[in-house]
Amino acid sequence: MRFALPLIALASLSACGGGGDAGGNGSAAAPVANVAAPAGQKWTDMVAVTPEGGYRIGNPDAAVKLVEFGSRTCPTCGAFGREGNEPLINNYVSTGKVSFEFRDFAIHGAPDLAAAVLGRCNGTATFFPLLEAMYQDQAATLDRMQAIPQAEQARLQSIPPLQAVSTWADAAGYVDFVKQRGVPEAKARQCLADQNLLQQVVKITEEGGAVVTGTPTFLINGEKAENALSWPQVEAALKAAGA
């Protein structure tokens, strides 16, 4: 297996917040109608892994498809998650008009890989609840990582990525974090050692590099949502697409 991602020291998180370019997405689309979920089901309970490796919630045939390339250690992504998750799911995904797919983009190397792999550890059942919980706890997590001495951060960059991922998971408190949220420690450590899980995130990051200039980066129906980083900006883009 090939790990092409750098292991970046956390002295600066400047790569966050660069996903929006100047410009717009053209004229507004005609509004689309709500779509009823299958009998006895809710769109917000439907979560699936996409062919691209992301996790999608909502109507797979929604007229408006929102994709986020996000980093769990990126403060701008965290701000979007904390502000936007509830209205996005409750007001848009629940209607069947919008589906939301999250693709882990490991912009900060091993720390992001650790968080992403543990977020996938229980599969579709807990992916979005764990993602939301990680963003709610992000400030405390970043404080723990920033407190790691520079010498130790340098050491982590010198060891093999697989080993560094597990070490970062402990240093950031991610193993204890997911253990308190339904992922037993033994399973968490098994996931951190699972090269297939790691490679899934590496692949998304490598392939996403063609469109991602910073995190978060949003796509709406396959087109990059320009100048969209915050929830109000993304909501405006969704409305322009007919949601």
For residue 216, cis peptide bond before it (omega within 30 degrees of 0): yes
The rounded distance, in Å, linking the Cα atoms of 96 and 94 is 6
pLDDT in tens, 211-235: 999 999 999 999 999 999 999 999 9
The rounded distance, in Å, linking the Cα atoms of 200 and 73 is 18
Burial degree of 82 (CB within 10 A; 0-12, 13-18, 19+): middle
- Angle between helix 185-192 and helix 161-171 axes, rounded to 10 deg: 150
The mean predicted confidence, pLDDT, of the chain is: 90
What is the structure's pLDDT at 17? 78
Whether residue 121 contacts residue 188, with contact meaning beta carbons closer than 8 Å, is answered with yes
**Buried/exposed code over 139-166 (b: 16+ C-beta within 10 A; e: otherwise):** eebbeebeebeeeebeebeeeebbebbb
Report the chain's terminal Cα–Cα distance, integer Å: 41
**The model's pTM:** 0.91
The total of other beta-carbon atoms located within 10 Å of residue 40's CB is 5
pLDDT in tens, 90-102: 999 999 999 999 9
Q: What is the pLDDT along the chain (243 residues), one digit of tens a residue?
A: 334 444 444 444 545 776 555 444 556 889 999 999 999 999 999 999 999 999 999 999 999 999 999 999 999 999 999 999 999 999 999 999 999 999 999 999 899 999 999 999 999 999 999 999 999 999 999 999 999 999 988 888 788 766 789 999 999 999 999 999 999 999 999 999 999 999 999 999 999 999 999 999 999 999 999 999 999 999 999 999 999
